[in-house]
Amino acid sequence: VPQDMPEAIQDRYSEKAAHCYGCGRLNERGHHLKTYWEGEETVTRFTPPSYSTAFPGLVYGGLIASLIDCHGCATAAGADERAAGGKKGEETVQRFVTAALHVNYLRPTPLGPELEIRGRVKETSGRKVVVEATVSANGTVTARGEVVTVRMPETMGSR
């Protein structure tokens, strides 16, 4: 990775918290989703493998749910760090986990193009961060979701 490449939020999950099939850098079989800040929004870009079909030519709903889920948790971790004043040296980010996931499938998602997941913090209160997200293909939103995340207990190796 060149020095001037931006670092993804998931790149700073602690080792114990980096095994997620969706977005863990240490999961050898997983999707390795990477989430970045773009202003006040977060963005993840991912091209699903060819076998991720619902129907021929369309992405299956479970993957779309998974993209929104991992994107939501990363957005919560990033927002938590920003709220604390930004990155401090080599410190890892606080890991958040999903308490509830809601997805509305607005139209079929084509399988082939890169998908763009965009997120924004909707609400923060106590241990909870709520993230809303969209999934787009070719510039059209195909699904909308909301992820209710909670701060992971430190005893579970959250950072």
Q: How many CA atoms lie within 13 A of 75 on its CB side?
A: 33
Host H or E run for residue 65:
helix 61-83
List of residues 6+ apart from 102 with CB closer than 8 A: 145, 146, 147
Residue 98 touching a second copy (CB under 8 A): yes
Q: Does 112 bind a second copy (CB under 8 A)?
A: no
Please, which of residues 8-37 interact with a second copy by CB under 8 A? Answer: 16-17, 19-22, 24, 27-30
What region does 126 belong to: left with phi over 0, alpha with psi -120 to 50, or beta? Answer: left
State which of residues 74, 79, 103, 137 lies at the interface with a second copy (CB under 8 A): 103
> Is 159 among the residues that bind a second copy (CB under 8 A)?
no
115 to 134: interface string for a second copy, x by CB under 8 A: --------------------
CA distance 153 to 107: 37
Positions touching a second copy (CB under 8 A) are 16-17, 19-22, 24, 27-30, 51-56, 60-63, 65-67, 69-70, 97-105, 156-157
